[in-house]
Structure 1
Amino acid sequence: MPQKRRYKSRRTNYRRKSNKNNRTTIILIAIVAVFVVSFFGYRRYVQYQSESKVEMVQQDHSQFIKKVSPYAVELGRQYGVLPSITIAQAILESDWGTSSLASQYNNYFGIKGEDPSNTKVLQTKEYTNGQWITINGRFRVYSDFRESMKDHTKLLVDGTTWNSQQYRQVIQSKNYIDAAVALQTDGYATDPGYTNKIIRVIQKYNLKKYDEGIK
């Protein structure tokens, strides 16, 4: 009798341990399943967020081009400045219209001025002696982005107060590549990569199509 009871006790303990192991296994499987679902769900969520952000950026870029391109073409026909150059410069100089200078003061081209009544002092970066430095510059303030675009065009056509022929090569250029090179050589920007940036923007967004019929 005592041996029989001990046998039952061992069998009962075995069943308890087996049930406990089964429950542990089930819990572990459930945890792994939850982790896998959560991980791939999170990855999908991140991917969705990334795709949505890219789509929003693309839409913003498209809207900006639609905003400035009609007037760029109008100015091109009137003054001979290639619209692709005007649009590309507006994109680069204003960071798609989001810079403080553009969003608050409608200055899309970083055009500077001297009159305190229609300018604003802001920090800007310039490339000098082989390095980027931050300086304070006095920039023109406009009531409308079209004023900025026209002022930019007239700057290229009329030149600066100290050199009326400064941007003559830009105006005389027959294609956007020559015009982009001329912008650099004529001293519009201090950025050593300015020409390549202009060309890449024009090619990426097919801005060349706006030049048709201008020259």
Structure 2
Amino acid sequence: MAKKKENNVKVVTALCIILAVASLVTIKLVQLNTTTNQPAVNKTAKNQHEAFIEKVAPTAVQIQQQDHVPASISIAQAALESDWGTSKLASDYNNLYGVKGSADTKNIDLPTKEFVHGEWKTVQAPFRWYDSWNQSMWAHASLLVNGTSDNANRYASVLQSNDYRGAAKALVTGGYATDPQYAEKLIEIIETYHLDKYDKQ
């Protein structure tokens, strides 16, 4: 009886060891798979982002030379607002900056998220419909230069800022976006992709 009991203990112990080893192998495989796949996803996204930057940077530099809108801001805003050119508003209606429409412009009504009274809400709003990304970028520059109908100097501080950090914060002060983290998001994009190099061109 004692020997049988001893054998049972050995069997249980062996099973526990096998299960433990199997669990460790599974964990390692999952970790290996995650480690292997993650850089590939990041690399793909980075390549897409860099392709977007290359596409819009020449116009951003032209705008900077003519209207003094920092090229880094033009590019970063376009990337953030359009999800690197992949949003429906950007891909279907060429609106890179989430610019709202008015009674005398060509518009499309789409749902959008607004940060109101401390929380995000989805609302339906009219957005400008442009013929091209290039047209959208110049219209965005015009908005920053000329302001809005109620305040022509709304974004004057953006143009007067000494660097992209000041310009990003000035956009928020001017009321360009309701997102409380808007400036920080722009700055992160600029610094991640070194977009300030375009400000020197």
Q: Same fold (TM over 0.5)?
A: yes
- Residue type at the aligned position of 1:198: L
CA distance in 1, matches of 2:42, 2:179: 27
Larger radius of gyration: 1
Structure 2 counterpart of 1:191? 179
Structure 2 counterpart of 1:124? 112
SS at match of 1:65: helix
Question: Runs of 5+ in structure 1 lacking a partner?
Answer: 1-24, 26-31
Structure 2 counterpart of 1:167? 155
| Structure 2 residue corresponding to 1:97, chosen from 85, 109, 113 | 85
Offset of 1:91 from its aligned partner?
Answer: 1.0
| Structure 2 residue corresponding to 1:109, chosen from 97, 106, 111 | 97
Offset of 1:50 from its aligned partner?
Answer: 2.2
SS at match of 2:130: coil
Q: 1:178 to 1:33 in 2, by over 3 A?
A: closer
Moved more, 40-49 or 79-88: 40-49
CA distance in 1, matches of 2:177, 2:28: 47
Structure 1 counterpart of 2:121? 133
1:50-88 alpha-carbon deviations (Å, 9 max, x no partner)? 222111111101111111111100110011000011111
Question: Runs of 5+ in structure 2 lacking a partner?
Answer: 1-13, 15-19
TM-score (norm 2): 0.83
RMSD: 2.5
CA distance in 2, matches of 1:60, 1:112: 26
Structure 2 counterpart of 1:8? none
TM-score (norm 1): 0.78
1:172-213 alpha-carbon deviations (Å, 9 max, x no partner)? 112111111111111111111111111111111111111015
Q: 1:130 to 1:77 in 2, by over 3 A?
A: same
